[in-house]
């Protein structure tokens, strides 16, 4: 499995987890539990998409993609996404 296939699989797993939470288990989970579970699927989903974007961006620049740089880029983007999610749920969500 190459890096592109791995990142494609990762974002699909994240999406599948989100579908299971919000479509299949919707009636079994409280709103609070669904909010808490978003910390599970969002980083996986974003990591996969950011990895694919990083691979494409490096190829467009004419540089061969290095595994460590793409994984680091995807990890940083996933961490930022979790930070933004935390900000949303702590600062904005209570006022809605």
pLDDT tens digits, 42-80: 999 999 999 999 988 877 777 677 788 899 999 999 999
Q: Is the CB of residue 66 less than 8 Å from the CB of residue 2?
A: no
- C-alpha 87/C-alpha 54 separation (Å) is 25
Query: What does the pLDDT read at residue 29?
Result: 92
Q: Are 70 and 54 in contact (CB under 8 A)?
A: yes
Q: Which residues contact 23 (CB under 8 A, 6 or more apart)?
A: none
Asked if 43 and 82 count as a contact pair (C-beta separation under 8 A), the reply is yes
pTM, two decimals, is 0.88
């Amino acid at each position: 499995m190459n890096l592109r296939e791995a990142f494609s699989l990762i974002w699909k797993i994240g999406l599948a987890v989100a579908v299971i939470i919000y479509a299949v288990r919707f009636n079994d989970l409280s709103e609070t539990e669904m909010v808490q579970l978003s910390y599970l699927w969002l980083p996986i989903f974003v990591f996969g998409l950011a990895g694919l974007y990083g691979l494409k961006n490096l190829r467009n620049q004419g540089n061969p993609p290095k595994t460590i740089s793409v994984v680091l880029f995807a990890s940083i983007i996933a961490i930022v996404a979790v930070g933004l999610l935390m900000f949303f749920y702590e600062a904005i969500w209570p006022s809605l």
